[in-house]
Every structure is written in C-alpha cells, then in structure tokens.
Amino acid sequence: MRGGVCLDATARSRKARILKARPLFGKRLIFGGTFALVHSRGRVHYLTMLQTMSHSDPGDLAKLGELILDIRVALLTTVDRDGRFHARPVQTLKVEADRTLWFFTDWSSPKVDELHHDVRVSLGYADSTKNVYVAVTGSGRLIRDSQKAKELWSIEQRAYYPEGPEDERLALLRVVIERAEYWIAPGRVSYIVAAVTAAVTGTPAGIIGENRKIE
C-alpha cells in the first residue's frame, strides 16, 4: 500500500490506459465465438464481424449450388442491342457440377436476340427471410434439346409449354458460371453484438456473416 492506494490496482489501471491508447487496427476482438477485426481504409476505420470469409475452396461450389436450388428463382439480366440491361425472373431447373445452370425459356423471348448479340449474363438470388443472397455472372447459350428438356421437365411447366418437353416454343437456356459470390447473414444477436462493438470502439461494421467468392 502507498498512501492508501493498492499498487496492484494502480498497475492494472495504468495497463488499461495503455491498452486503451493503443490503436486497434489489425486486432481481433472475441465476442462469444464470433470475432471482429478492426482495420483501416484511408482515414475511415471499419469493424468487420467475421464468422467466415475467404475466397473459394472445394466446398464452396457445392454450397453455392445448394443455395441456388433452395432459392430457385433468380433475376436474370442480359444486355440488349442498345447496351441497356434487361432483367426478368427465371426459375433454376438444375445446377450441375461443371458450373452449369439450366432454365427454360421461349424462343420468342427478347432474351433470345439479346443472347445472340451478347452472351454475358448475371443472375441474382435473394431469400430475405433467411438472409441469403447469391450473385452469379457467366455466359448464356440457347439450345434445342428435347432429351435434356425431358430430364428437366416438371408437370407445372405445361402451363407455359402445353405440348410438353417437345413443344416447338421451348428453348433451353444454359448458363456457365464464370464468377459467383454468396452472402449468408447471421441472426439478430450477431447484429446486436456488432452494434455494441461499434458503439464501444467507434468503428462502423463492415461485413457481418459469411461471404464466399467462387472464381
């Protein structure tokens, strides 16, 4: 004791002041299994709540396929002859291991002319109830293949193609994935943790949840 003050308490207080003064950039802060990484971008500091974040690994493509088939309906965007984007909903019928996505469309659809002019396409999938989002870019090709159509066929397709898989109006759209990315946001608790952490550190959150890139 010195002057009624405990030396251990004084040392702890001094250490706390030093730690508080140190920059947090590059430090990991642990919050119940989820960690935060504080980093700097220019003069703005960001707090990134990470459960997992990386570029693609062998399991990412399989996970991508699961997410796509679970959501099923996407917004397909093509480019018309004037260079304008044209988006419309499409139903994903199959995801194959060779990065191929299959869809039905009509030979009279504007996308037929657009894909003959420019094969570039993008697909956006979203399930806001599960906080799952997928973005795909690739190349599209239209083909006529009654055998493949039979493989992809389901009874509800007769609403659009009354003659069945051999309907003359039925075209197959094959999209080869070139790049893809998906985001899976965590539950509300993780956002509360991020909010509290941001309030304590004064650092806004960047990415919260899981983000994977497939190239």
Q: Is 118 helix (H, G, I), strand (E, B) or coil?
A: coil
What's the whole-number mean pLDDT along residues 128-154? 96
The secondary structure of the chain in percent helix, strand, coil, rounded to multiples of 5, reads 30, 45, 25
Tens digits of residue pLDDT in 12-68: 454 444 334 343 334 333 333 333 433 444 433 333 334 444 455 667 999 999 999
Is the pLDDT at 136 greater than 80, yes or no?
yes
Q: What is the DSSP letter of 129?
A: T
Q: How is residue 152 written in tokens?
A: 């992809």
Reported as a pLDDT band with limits 50, 70 and 90, residue 210 is: confident
On the question of pLDDT at 188 being above 70, the answer is: no
Quick one: how many helices (H) and strands (E) in the chain? 5, 11
pLDDT (0 to 100) of residue 161: 96
pLDDT band, residue 6 (cuts 50/70/90): very low
